[in-house]
Amino acid sequence: MSSRRLFPKPDPSLLVLSSLAGGPKHGYALMKDVEAFARVTLGPGTVFGCLARLEERGLVEALEPEDRRHPYRLTAAGAHALEEQLSELERVTSTGSSRLGASRGRLTDGAAGAPA
């Protein structure tokens, strides 16, 4: 099977909110955290654009700068939005995993139609 990704990478907003659920972070720490837990590399433009949009919606808030770093934290509204999104994703992954396990014996390798 090809190593190319079949599905798109997770939405940057979901990744940023998930990272901030672990506590306040500045941009660089946020990028490194997302890379560690999601294996997705977000560039500075993506992260800071995402933070600006999330802040406009009241889902994150900027904290007092520390030296040249500008940390952000999750708000109660952000935690609620993240919880709803994760619940929706959990329903999909749980259903998919359950159905995949039940169908393992009936799968074929595709082109030849032989059992996998």
Domain boundaries, the chain: 12-95
pTM for this model (two decimals): 0.82
Looking at residue 37, its pLDDT comes to 96
For residue 1, the model assigns a pLDDT of: 45
pLDDT in tens, 15-71: 999 999 999 999 999 999 999 999 999 999 999 999 999 999 999 999 999 888 999
**pLDDT at residue 51 in the model:** 97
- Mean pLDDT for all residues in the chain: 90
Q: Domain 12-95 is of which CATH architecture? A: Orthogonal Bundle (1.10)
Rounded to whole angstroms, the Cα distance separating 97 from 85 reads 18
Q: Give, in degrees to the nearest 5, the angle at Cα 5 between 110 and 86.
A: 110
